[in-house]
Amino acid sequence: MTSRTVQTSPIEGQKPGTSGLRKKTAVFREPSYLENFVQCIFDGTGGAAGKTYVVGGDGRFFNAEAIGVIIRMAAANGAARLIVGQGGILSTPAASNLIRKYKTDGGIILSASHNPGGENGDFGIKFNAPNGGPAPEKITDAIFARTREITEYRITEEEAADIGRIGTSVLGACRIDVIDPVTDYEALMQELFDFDAIGSLFERGFRICFDAMHAVTGPYATRILEETLGAAKGSVINAVPLPDFGGGHPDPNPVWASELVVIMEGARAPDFGAASDGDGDRNMIMGKGAFVSPSDSLALLTAYAHLAPAYSGKLTGVARSMPTSRAVDLVAERLGIPCFETPTGWKFFGNLLDAGKVTLCGEESAGTGSDHIREKDGLWAALLWLNILARDGRDIVQLRADHWRSFGRNYYSRHDYEEIPTQDAEKLMTTLRNRLPDLPGTTVAGMQITTADDFAYRDPVDDSLTEAQGVRIAFGDGSRVVMRLSGTGTQGATLRVYLERFVGRSGDHAQDLQTALAPVIAAAETVADITKHTGRSSADVIT
């Protein structure tokens, strides 16, 4: 093997966010852009010599080409072994499982998650740590520091292995194992769930629709739901991963998964609907004519997880991201287990999971997971729902209605203002933060503010402190507004406004969602001057 050292220089803007580095695909295709960052992953984690990595992605445009570069660079940097998904395909949950199962030194995952793909779309790369979870800040900080001082990268002259065929090859001293991307993940699901009960559900005529959104989950859902469990052929739609996701936006919510919504609201709607995103870690759940919010889904899964073999009597605790509704808090209180509130970003659940403090966790942005891996997992969530429905006997709409009667309903919605000029978005948040000390006791839009703060998180495992994670404003009637800037976009900034209103067990649980939240929406606009700062009279996306 002939390798060469290429002289380079730092490239601005290579700071990883909560989910790695995301940019427009064209940026990643610029000379040395990808190579610089990959070298910095190796350098920032102690070098690649003698190490084993999992490598794969969601199949979006540039995925296979980027994997070829990573293989050639890993070999040149002395890596001992690479485990690569056939065709470059590995869902993020599957990659996390492989890292843990084979005790590798980490993984390099290529995805921009729910962002659009294609030549003019987005691309992303992230490093997952040996526990299978997103790299913690001490690692991403080290990688970023290296991006600011890099002077060279190493790469082989030889072409990378053929990742289209399952098998083993070598590149220099590096062994490259191309594996079936589904096999190990399916084996894990069989350990967690009662496949016989789910299979019997399908034998009784239970119908489902799983929308893979032309993203990575297609092969996983087809194999497990249709071939193994016996769901009717065609139950998985948009099952073939495409480089541009079929021109769609692989974000599993009622706006972008509109095809599933039409099916589930139709006259012949299936009994259960689900969708997953670009890299397979998010989920959307529906019953006949009914969307189950991610916050409600987490609460319901926590309440009924005991019906699945892996979780019966084994819930040590639950965690939710701070913006997620407090519906799961009520369930945890009744079950007598702790409920942790963390910043947004799956990596914050990692310490809690590793320490055995929680079993289930979730965030409002359609992510739900458990201690089986260290990532959220879209297909896992659908399978847990199916296991619960198979064992409980009620349909999903009745189960949710009964839950609200038992715990009350947290009306909840997220309003996104996308691609705001970064300076304007930051000015909005700075102005709001400066007002926080004066807000408690005041009334806005007819609602009295009781508390207002900027969320800070003290990790109960390592005592680390993470500050400035989003503004929280609570009102006297139990309503709540949360505002933060998202780090998952590639242009400008996205302002996320989270709105929550609690109605007790005997209250009206059948109101239109946005109507029920109208007073909270008005209060959010007034307290933050959203229109003034953004120039928008309404949100771009409401979920």
Averaged confidence pLDDT in the chain: 95
137-147 exposure pattern, b = at least 16 Cβ within 10 A, e = fewer? bebbebbbebb
Tens digits of per-residue pLDDT, 243-293?
A: 999 999 999 999 899 999 999 999 999 999 999 999 999 999 999 999 999
pLDDT-derived band of residue 137, with 50, 70 and 90 as boundaries? Answer: confident
What is the dihedral sign for C-alpha 291, 516, 297, 277? positive
**8 Å CB contact between 153 and 41:** no
- Does this chain's domain 185-407 share its CATH topology with 409-542? no
Which of 247, 249, 277, 242 is CA-nearest to residue 59? 242
Tens digits of per-residue pLDDT, 144-157?
A: 999 999 999 999 98
Q: Is the pLDDT of residue 160 over 90?
A: no
Which of 257, 273, 263 is CA-nearest to residue 206? 273
Q: Is the pLDDT of residue 187 over 80?
A: yes
Tens digits of per-residue pLDDT, 100-129?
A: 999 999 999 999 988 999 999 999 999 999
Q: Is the pLDDT of residue 324 over 70?
A: yes
Q: Measure the CA–CA gap between 375 and 33, rounded to whole angstroms.
A: 27
Residue 537 is predicted with a pLDDT of 86
Q: Measure the CA–CA gap between 127 and 16, rounded to whole angstroms.
A: 9
Tens digits of per-residue pLDDT, 466-495?
A: 999 999 999 999 899 999 998 555 578 999
Name every residue whose Cβ is closer than 8 Å to that of residue 420 and which is 6 or more positions away in sequence: 492, 493, 494, 495, 534, 536
SS3 499: strand
CATH fold of 409-542: TATA-Binding Protein (3.30.310)
Most confident of 178-187, 460-469, 489-498: 178-187
Q: Measure the CA–CA gap between 86 and 78, rounded to whole angstroms.
A: 22
Name every residue whose Cβ is closer than 8 Å to that of residue 518 and which is 6 or more positions away in sequence: none
Q: Which CATH class is domain 185-407?
A: alpha beta
Please tell me which residue in 19, 91, 113, 321 is annotated as part of the active site. 113
**8 Å CB contact between 272 and 388:** no
**8 Å CB contact between 129 and 136:** yes
Ordered by start, the domain boundaries in the chain are 3-180, 185-407, 409-542
**8 Å CB contact between 525 and 432:** no
Tens digits of per-residue pLDDT, 7-61?
A: 999 999 999 987 899 999 999 999 999 999 999 999 999 999 999 999 999 999 9
**8 Å CB contact between 295 and 325:** yes
Which of 442, 113, 448 is CA-nearest to residue 253? 113
Q: Measure the CA–CA gap between 514 and 414, rounded to whole angstroms.
A: 10
Q: Measure the CA–CA gap between 521 and 513, rounded to whole angstroms.
A: 11
Which residues on adjacent β-strands are paired with residue 420? 493
113 is catalytic: yes
pLDDT-derived band of residue 165, with 50, 70 and 90 as boundaries? Answer: very high
Tens digits of per-residue pLDDT, 520-542?
A: 999 999 999 999 999 888 898 88
Residue 488 is predicted with a pLDDT of 55
CATH fold of 3-180: Alpha-D-Glucose-1,6-Bisphosphate; Chain A, domain 3 (3.40.120)
Tens digits of per-residue pLDDT, 346-362?
A: 888 999 999 999 999 99
Using a cut of 0.85, tell me whether the model's pTM lies above it.
yes
